[in-house]
Every structure is written in C-alpha cells, then in structure tokens.
Amino acid sequence: MAAATTTIEVGERSIVLTSQSKKMFPDDGITKGELVDYYLEVAPWMLPHVAGRPLTLQCYPAGIGGHKFYQKNTGEHFPEWMARTTMLSKDEGETTYALADEAATLVYLANQNCITFHVCSARVPRLDRPDLLILDLDPSDSDFEKVRQGAQALRPMLTEAGLVPYVKTSGSRGLHVVAPIVPGDDHDAVRHFARNIAERLCRLEPELFTVEMSKKRRGTRVFVDYLRNGMAQTVAAPYTVRGLPGAPVATPLRWEELEDPALHARSHTLRTVRDRLARHGDPWQHMQRDARPLAD
C-alpha cells in the first residue's frame, strides 16, 4: 500500500508531505507531522538566524532510535526552487549546500526526515567573512553548573573586548555564547580571537575549563570550543530540534535566565518553544543590530 500523502501550501510553494504519522521520537509519541508543524510555526523566528547560512542536515530516516546521517550536499531530488550555495573546504572540495531562506525549505527538509539543522558562522555572499563569533561550552560530565558559570564568565570578557554577547542552550548538553560581528575578518582571525577569549577563561578557572581537544585529557572540565569559528564548521541552529529523547530545542535565552537553577541544556522542547515564543518573543530578535568589529 502506498504511503499516505498530503499537499500543503507554504508561501508560494506546494509541498507534498509523506508518512506524517511516522514516530520520529517514539518514546514521546512525536510524529513527523508534529516535527513538520513545529518548523512551519517557528519559521518566522528561526529564519532570520539561518537565512543565507549553508545548512548541514542531520537526518533520521527511521526516527531517533535508528540510523542517522549528516548531509551537506543538496540531494538531486531537492526542488529547483530551493536556494543553494557552493562553498569550498580544505578537505572536502566543492560542496553545494541548501539555504533556508524561506519557511518552505524548513518544511520540505523536515519532511525528508531532517530533525536538526546545523549552520556555519558566515552568510552568503560573504562566506569567507563570519558575522558571528561562537564559543561552545561542551561539558565532559552532567554538571551543568560549570557550564552556567562558564557562560556567565564569558559575558563580561566579550563585553570588555567590545562585543555584545548572547546565549542559548545547545539542546544537547551545553550552552553557546555568541556575539554578532561586522563581517571583515576571515575565519582564521575570528578563530584566533575566540581562542584568546577561551584561554582567558581557562586561566581564570583552570580546574573547570579547558581548550584541550582530547576528551581523555579534559577529565571533568568543560571544553571551551572555539573551533566552531573555522571555515565550514557548524553549530546547532537557533530553534532547531535535537535528535534526543524529549525533542529538546537549541533555544536562545535572556541572560537573566541563567540564574534559574532549574535551567539545563534540554529545558526547552518542541512542545514548549512555540508557547515560549508567543509569550516572550525571540531574545535574539535584534541581534544583528549589535554587530561590532573585532578589536585589533
């Protein structure tokens, strides 16, 4: 028997949806239809953060309990209307990425079993000039308090460096501290700047934080990952769902929310974020107004 299909209109696009009853998060009863609806409804808040950024897709054809894969190159079956861009990387040559410049792209890709969207720190047409500085606080254990402390310590460091920092949950285990920057420096310069900030945090609290890439050598310390600033490196996009039980969402926060002792990396989920946005809006809504050049 052929899988049930339905066609919906998203803006000017007609999208055929398939297998909407498939359980993507079986223990939570979350179907592909619910995932598609989520991305359709959060698109007005999510698109300003992802538009123009090459997408790396994390797909789960059989839901989160089955095989998963990452996809960078656009599929041959992707519709002609979907925006694309080509980027060179040192180890992979030329790659043609999808761009989520409209809600229809998020809906189409969610219907293709993409749960998580990863984006890089630069936008077209200046893919060689980042407009974000990213520090990913990645814990080695389940102690989220260390992650919280790291974000709170990074805030004044970035402010003193002339930047305006923002924070979000990763939706997995940590926090992302992000600062909008004026595109001008290349990836190497931004990564060097981010490393200097990360090392400053490590010197401040050497028992809690590290820039050591070897997991074995980190011990229980939080890895202050400055490498997200490299060319073609990615981070979970704001408002993307993660392929984990409960369908947690990488969620922009207000800084004062870090004071809540109940906060953790998976606090906000596919089933709670839409109400949060309706009540409070997007804390990152005006982020790009705060873009600053990197200090010399």
Question: At 14, is the pLDDT very low, low, confident or very high (cuts 50, 70, 90)?
Answer: very high
98-116 pLDDT per residue, tens? 999 999 999 999 999 999 9
Whole-angstrom Cα distance, residue 200 to residue 159? 14
Candidates 3.20.20.70, 3.40.50.2300, 3.90.550.10, 3.90.920.10; CATH matching 10-120+232-250+267-274? 3.90.920.10
Give the pLDDT score at 243. Answer: 98
Rounded CA separation 27/199 (Å): 41
Question: Are 210 and 65 within 8 A, CB to CB?
Answer: no
Q: How confident is the model at residue 89 (pLDDT cuts 50, 70, 90)?
A: low
Weakest mean pLDDT among 81-85, 86-90, 176-180, 247-251: 86-90
52 — pLDDT class (breaks 50, 70, 90): very high
Omega of the bond leading into 125 within 30 degrees of 0 (cis): yes
- Distance, CA of 265 to CA of 170 (rounded, Å): 6
Confidence of residue 75 (pLDDT cuts 50, 70, 90): confident
Structural tokens at position 251 = 């969620």
Q: Which residues does 295 contact at the CB level (< 8 Å), separation at least 6?
A: 161, 162
Would you state the pLDDT for residue 287?
97
The enclosing H or E element of 114 equals strand 114-119
* pLDDT computed for residue 1 by the predictor: 38
Residue 94 has what pLDDT? 87
Could you tell me what percent of the chain has a pLDDT over 90? 93
Six token digits for residue 89: 């990387």
Question: Percent of the chain having pLDDT more than 70?
Answer: 97
State which amino acid sits at residue 13.
R
The domain defined by 132-229 carries CATH number 3.30.70.3300 = yes
Q: How many CA atoms lie within 13 A of 291 on its CB side?
A: 10
> Tokens 């309990």 identify what position?
65
pLDDT of residue 2: 47
Q: In which band, very low, low, confident or very high, does the pLDDT at 4 lie, cut at 50, 70 and 90? A: confident
Average pLDDT, the chain: 95
Return all residues near 266 (Cβ < 8 A) that are at least 6 apart.
169, 171, 172, 242, 244, 246, 248
pLDDT of residue 102: 98
Q: How far is it, in rounded angstroms, from Cα 149 to Cα 179?
A: 18
pLDDT > 70? residue 90: no
Structure-block tokens of residue 294: 């990197």
Where residue 88 falls among pLDDT bands split at 50, 70, 90? Answer: confident
Rounded to whole angstroms, the Cα distance separating 74 from 57 reads 10
Between the alpha carbon of residue 109 and those of residues 58, 74, 82, the distances in Å are 10, 10, 10
Map out the domains of the chain as residue ranges: 10-120+232-250+267-274, 132-229
User: Which residues are paired to 23 by β-bridges?
Assistant: 31
